[in-house]
Each structure stands twice: as structure tokens, then as C-alpha cells.
Amino acid sequence: MNQTSSIQHNHLPLPPAVFVTLTCAFRYGREDLDVLGLSFRKDLYISTFQAFPPVPEERKSNSRLQERLLKKLGQHAHPFYFTIPQNLPCSVTLQPGPEDTGKVRHTHTHASLSCPLIGRGLCRRNSVRLVIRKVQYAPEKPGPQPMVETTRSFLMSDRSLHLEASLDKELYYHGEPISVNVHVTNNSTKTVKRVKISVRQYADICLFSTAQYKCPVAQLEADDQVSSSSTFCKVYTLTPTLDKNREKRGLALDGKLKHEDTNLASSTIVKDVTNKEVLGILVSYRVKVKLVVSRGGDVSVELPFILMHPKPVEPPASRPQSGQSTPRAAAMSPSSHFHGNHSITCVCVCVLQLCQRWTRPSTPT
């Protein structure tokens, strides 16, 4: 039941100020293990600013969505905006094992809106929280086609085995099959007994010390043989998906919102690596091609590639005011997701209503 519907706003004082705190944190332990003031969490970024009353020199022209919300919500709605820095890590979660409870490690970003009430101070009852999912989308210009080759010489033999592997492109979208071209020139006296191909995910944990999780997300084994003094060429296809890897501990996943399924974590593209501790979890992918050689060991190569989501179609631009472009707007909701370095605009009417609820004057009995 909405208690604010029966409140007479004319008799309610406005809160002294409404503050927004933007926090990006890396949790490396379960919340139920936080005891004696020891928290298994590290704050990577914290920024606080005043949303209401607005600072005069920081006023911005309202976006089209803000104008509609202000018209709908009335005079007690107050718009504000904040900016998510581009170098913040993306929302990534490491999948727990079947016997684990809760999330083991994850990076997340959230904005907390709070107003200190007179005589009450700050508490959970006069604050709201907006969970933000930060994602990266695929670059518009992909890189060169991955290709690698190696030559292996064997003991007591003057001839060698040459392996060349390549991908048809560098950038793949989630759910898209990956074509691996394998070319073998066997001039040695050995015989290649089988070919193993796997797609591996590498998750580097950048905290106090760098740790790495390595998980195969797609595997293929073929009984293709390459005899001595012969050549072999074939294209193999693999599709890395989460459906077949839901019980692998330490698998990196994209941070998900409530009641939504997720997918394998997208590749992390980092431009500045001066301070690795603020990067959170770095995700990368490689295709490994291995030749099993009879009485000669294995010959293998690795091909790095990028796995990401395609950039969505941009919505129509907001109506400009005063000859300036306006930031993209986002309605206040329990959770939202954004990418890149965008200005996020919200309407904090919910905070003012919450403040009004707890400053309701007592009714004489």
C-alpha cells in the first residue's frame, strides 16, 4: 500500500538534501562470511554528489524523457544526472560450484540515493538503491584475422611437422559458431593420431595479487589421422554457450539482473592498464588446437579471439535544447544497464516520496 497517497504535501517539509553515491565494488567472498567488521569486498570507485537541491553551476538542460516524467509526476519530481566513468570494470560474476551457496566473486556497480532526515541521520529506511549493469559492446572495426603456425622437430629425425591454424575472423557474437581452419603438413616419420580443439575462457582476478581461472567452454575431438609425408586440411566448428557449462566453478558470466538469464562473460577490452587493481575481472578467450602425435608428444597452438554482444541500434536522439545535445535518459528503475561513458539521467521522485513518508507529522489521538 502506498502511504504517500494520503499525505498532504503542503504540510511536509522537503528534506535538507538528497545525495547520490555511485559505487563500484568487487566482492570476493559471500556476504554471510562478513563478521567482526571484516568484509570480503573492495570498493574500486566511490563518488558522491548532491542531487537535490541542484547545484546552480551544475544545472543541465532536461532531456526529452525527463520532460515527460516531470510532466507526469508533478512538481515533487526533481531531475538529476550522473556519469559512469569509462574505465570502470564491467559487471562480471564468477559462477559458483554445485556445492557453493551464493556468488563467490563478482564486480558490480550501484547508485544509492539517500536523504538524511532531521533527527534520524542516514539509514536504509530513507534511501533507495539502483543496481547498474555495465557492459561493453563489440567494436565497430574488428581486428585482423587470427592466424598462428608452428613447426615441430622430433628426435632422431631431420624432417618436421608443420601446423597452421586460423579463424575466419577475430570478433564473434554470443551464440555464433566459430570456424577453425587447421592445416597440417607432416614431413616427419610420425603419425598424427587425432585432433583436439577447445575454446577456453581465461578470467584474470585483479585484486591484491593476480589469479587466473581457466575453463574450457567448448571442446571437440576428431579421430582424423595424418600419416607421414602427407598433408591435411579441415575446418572444425565449435559454439561456446552457457547451456553446457552451468556447473563449472569459476566460469565468468556477464552480470545479470533479477529474473533474467545471462551468458558467458564478454571479452574485456582495456585501454589503460596503469592500475590493475581497479580492473576487477578481465575475461579473454582462446581457441587451442592440439595434435596428438604417436610416440612424439603433442603439438599445439592457441588463437585469441573476442566474444562480445553486438552494439544495439541507437534510439532516436533526444530533442536538443539551446543548441546543445542532451544526454541519453534512463528512467529510475530497480536495475538498469549501460555501456561506455554515458551520462545517466534519472528522476529522484521516489526519494522525495520516501523522505516524505518518514517525515509525516504525527496525528493527535
Per-residue pLDDT of the chain (365 residues; tens, 9 = 90+): 322 333 334 444 555 677 787 777 777 665 555 566 666 677 777 777 777 777 776 667 777 877 888 888 777 777 777 777 777 777 787 777 656 555 455 565 556 666 554 444 455 556 777 777 777 788 888 788 999 999 988 877 778 899 999 999 999 999 899 999 999 999 888 889 999 999 999 988 776 666 778 889 999 999 999 998 899 999 999 999 988 888 888 788 887 666 667 788 888 887 766 666 667 788 899 999 999 988 878 899 999 999 988 887 765 554 444 444 333 333 333 344 455 444 444 444 444 554 444 444 444 44
Domain 3-137+317-358 matches domain 147-308 at the CATH topology level: yes
The per-residue pLDDT for 361 is: 46
The per-residue pLDDT for 171 is: 92
The per-residue pLDDT for 58 is: 65
- Considering the four listed CATH numbers 1.10.3720.10, 3.40.50.10680, 1.10.10.10, 2.60.40.840, the one that applies to the domain covering 3-137+317-358 is 2.60.40.840
The per-residue pLDDT for 276 is: 66
- Cα–Cα dist 46/203, whole Å: 24
- Cα–Cα dist 53/357, whole Å: 19
Contact 359, 117 (CB under 8 A): yes
Strands (E), 98-156: 105-114, 127-135, 147-153
The CATH number assigned to the domain with range 147-308 reads: 2.60.40.640
CA 331 vs. chain centroid, Å, equals 21
Domain residue ranges in the chain = 3-137+317-358, 147-308
Q: Let me know how long the chain is.
A: 365
Contact 330, 345 (CB under 8 A): yes
